[in-house]
Structure 1
């Protein structure tokens, strides 16, 4: 009988010890989980003013393990775990910025950015190959003309080739140096001025440089041939047939142009008081002849309406993603186009320092889109996207987490007292 009582006391003590240790284990896991929540909440609060920051939340889950003390054939819950959940798809409030080159996305897209891995001998950045994505659009130009956000990431886009003037098809860091050259504007009108010698019968040539939409130069040559005392023919020198881009010009008794009958390179004919249509290379233009008169000498010349010179004065951003170089002559020219990248599951992107992310297998492959297409979103210039932190809500959650942390601490201290009592009973 005494042996049975001893065994019963042993089992009671064993059960008590196991329960106390299990309680400590559960409480410690609760402390760790609430500590994890503290980290997430404090990170949100600390970044409540960080441009493009996406607040995260904490999810709790219980761990269930088989316990030999369970007599109902089921498992007992004896721990808790906490995980961070990203919400990169949450839209932050768009607010006006004093920075004219800042951009804010309203939609699902991300800016394509890269980091510098070092500097070359001339202090220009050496950019890495790792592709990053961000919603921090607070971009400014650095000393080398690159667009860099406040976290040090370099904005990428499709750059305009300085030689050909065409837009590229592969992403690269956008750079607009102060030494950028002004591309001549597209020629739309050629103007002939001067006199034709009414007593001369020789052919008189005039030429000028015209520019296409990319700023490429071409020479336009026109020649005058006298047909009568008051009639001259003007034609494109490069037209061997003599019918395309040609005109018959009639002068009045004062020597001024009275009518122009012309035929362009398409075969279309027209009559005008002082001009004709020039079609073909480099592009269609109007040739004005009102400044030509009959006189005693051949002094005709020709100019185009292209603006050919300008000094760089700064850059401007457009809502379609265009980055424009502005010049002191009042003109601006496209230097780059900014696309936006979307993901099937943006919440599965891998968070990096400085409000940046990298793609993962769970996020899906990056899909590059033009602004305002395929859900990528729109751009607001001179604006930033604010942090999505709910400061009031997170402060309230912080109080709840503190209370839960304190409760778990009390469990640990109580279990410690019970453990000391149990050990004393054994002794």
Structure 2
């Protein structure tokens, strides 16, 4: 009879020990899950002042890992797991920055950025090929003129070719060195000044350099031919038709211009008091002749209204994504254009160091858009996007997580006491 009792107590002890150990495993999984929550919350709190940081949350789910009732329709959860859930698509508050080259996105877009992988012999960065995306728009120029954010990522955009003055079509790091040359402004007006020898019958030439919208130079040649004592013809030397860019100029008794009758490229005539319209290369312009007079010598010359010199003074950012080089002559010129990239599921991007992300198969392919198109969002200059951390909410969650962690430790200590009691049952 005693042996039967001993065996019964043994079976009771084994069953009890198994249940208690399962309870310990469950409590340990709870400790691990709450530790995971602590990590997420502490990361949010630590980055509450980090520009462009996107706060995450912790999701909990139950598991059935080792349950004797698992096959009879009455299975019970005996474990918990925690996962980090990203909220990259949350919009942070846009605030004014003291950094004039900072940019903040309001919308779904990301800046295209790359990292430096090293330095060349002349200390310029060697940029990697891995494409990154970020909302940290706190950009400033480094010593080489590159736009770099506070996490060390180099901003990419479409750069203007220094030779042709045209905007590129492929992304590259934006660099505006202090040695950047000023591109002459587009010529809109040519001005002739000087005298024509009223007694001379020879042709008098004048020329100047005019510039198109990209700063490319062209030579404009005009010639004067005397028709009478008070009438001269002026025309474009390079015009073979004899009609375009030509005019008949009449002088009054004092030798000043009194009227200008001209023909455009269609042959239509028009009369002005002192100018005519020039059409063709490099672009349409006005030619002013009011500064020409009849005299005793041929000293006529011509200038354009283009500004041709300027010293670089800095850069400015525009809300349409334009990066402008500013000069001491008061002019600014486009040097690059910043696009924004969107994803079908931004919350599935892979987080990297420094508030940067890389694309994944779950996020979808990157779609490059102009600012304020296709939901990419708008840009605010001289501003940054703040962290989306909710300090008050996260501190409250931290207290709850602490209590849950303490409750799980209580389960472990209670299970330990029960285990000791069970082991003593047949001693």
- TM tier relative to shorter chain: over 0.9
Deviations 1:54-77 (A, max 9, x none): 000000000113522569542221
Query: How many residues in Structure 1 have an aligned counterpart in Structure 2?
Result: 427
Given that residues 223 and 234 in structure 2 are in contact (C-alpha distance below 8 angstroms), is that contact kept between their aligned partners in structure 1? yes
Query: Deviations 1:187-210 (Å, cap 9, x if unpaired)?
Result: 000000000000000000000000
Q: Which residue number in structure 2 is paired with residue 27 of structure 1? A: 27
Q: What are the Cα deviations for residues 355-395 of structure 1, in whole angstroms up to 9, with x where unaligned? A: 00000000000000000000000000000000000000000
- Show structure 1 runs of 5+ residues with no match: none
- Unmatched tracts of structure 2, length 5 or more: none
Give the secondary-structure state (helix, strand or coil) at the position aligned to 2:51: coil
| Superposed displacement of residue 354, structure 1 | 0.4
How far does residue 421 in structure 1 lie from its aligned partner after superposition? 1.5
Cα separation, 1, equivalents of 2:204 and 2:73? 110
- Kept in 1: contact 2:67–2:78 (CA 8 A): no
Pair 1:425 & 2:425 matched: yes
Summarize the Cα distance change of 1:245–1:37 in structure 2 as closer, same or farther, 3 Å threshold. Answer: same
Q: Distance in 2 between matches of 1:108 and 1:73?
A: 46
Structure 1 residues 414 and 141, CA, compared in 2 at 3 Å: closer, same or farther?
Answer: same
Rounded to whole Å, the distance in 2 between the matches of 1:408 and 1:186 is 75
* Partner-residue secondary structure (3-state), 1:45: helix
Whole-Å separation in 2 of the counterparts to 1:333 and 1:73: 73
**Mapped partners of 1:252, 1:162: distance in 2:** 48
Call closer, same or farther: CA 1:254–1:286 in 2, change over 3 Å: same
Checking the alignment, whether the CA contact within 8 Å between 2:69 and 2:75 is kept in structure 1 is no
- 1:117-152 CA-partner distances (Å, limit 9, x unpaired): 000000000000000000000000000000000000
**Pairwise CA distance, 1:7:** 4.0
CA deviation digits over 1:278-305, x for unaligned, max 9? 0010000000000000000000000000
Question: Which 4+ stretches in 1 moved above 6 angstroms?
Answer: none
C-alpha displacement at 1:420, in angstroms? 1.4
- Aligned partners of 2:230 and 2:297: how far apart in 1? 15
CA distance in 1, matches of 2:426, 2:260: 122
Q: Aligned-pair distance for 1:88?
A: 0.5
Q: Name the CA distance, whole Å, in 2 between partners of 1:66 and 1:173.
A: 55
User: Structure 1 residues 238-247 or 54-63, which shifts more?
Assistant: 238-247
Alpha-carbon shift at residue 3 of structure 1 (Å): 5.5
Residues 290 and 12 (structure 1 numbering): CA distance in 2 closer, same or farther, change over 3 Å?
same
**1:143 alignment counterpart:** 143
Per-residue CA deviation, residues 24-59 of structure 1 (Å, 9 max, x unaligned), is: 000000000000000000000000000000000000
* RMSD, matched Cα: 1.1
> 3-state DSSP class of the match of 2:224?
strand
CA distance in 2, matches of 1:188, 1:267: 22
Q: Is the 8 A contact 1:111 1:135 kept in 2?
A: yes
Q: Greater shift after overlay, 258-267 or 388-397?
A: 258-267
The answer on whether the counterparts of 1:66 and 1:74 sit within 8 Å (CA) in structure 2 is no
Other structure's SS at 2:424 match:
helix
In 2, Cα distance between equivalents of 1:379 and 1:120: 33
TM-score by length of 1: 0.98
Structure 2 partner of 1:236: 236
Paired residues of 1:65 and 1:75 also in contact (CA < 8 A): no
Contact persistence 2:95–2:386 (CA under 8 A): yes
Contact 2:6 2:426 (8 Å CA) reproduced: no
Equivalent-residue separation in structure 2 for 1:249 and 1:70 (angstroms):
105
Distance 1:41 1:275 in 2: 74
Structure 1 stretch displaced more, 259-268 or 279-288: 259-268
Aligned to 1:216: 216
Please say if residues 102 and 137 of structure 2, whose CA atoms lie closer than 8 Å, have aligned partners that are also in contact.
yes
Q: Is the 8 A contact 1:65 1:76 kept in 2?
A: no
Structure 1 position 2, deviation (Å): 5.3
The alpha-carbon distance between structure 1 residues 130 and 71, as it changes in their structure 2 partners (threshold 3 A), is: closer
| DSSP-derived class of the 1:123 partner | coil
Is the CA contact (8 Å cut-off) linking 1:157 and 1:339 kept in structure 2? yes
Q: Are the equivalent residues in 1 in contact too, given 2:203–2:226 (CA < 8 A)?
A: yes
Q: Deviations over 1:222-271 (max 9, x none)?
A: 00000000000000000112111100000000000000000122333211
Identify which range, 62-71 or 285-294, moves more after superposition. Answer: 62-71
TM-score by length of 2: 0.98
Q: SS at the partner of 1:77?
A: coil
The answer as to whether partners of 2:9 and 2:426 remain within 8 angstroms in 1 is: no
Relative to structure 1, the CA distance from residue 121 to residue 230 in structure 2 (aligned partners, 3 Å threshold; closer, same or farther) is same
Equivalent-residue separation in structure 2 for 1:49 and 1:281 (angstroms): 55
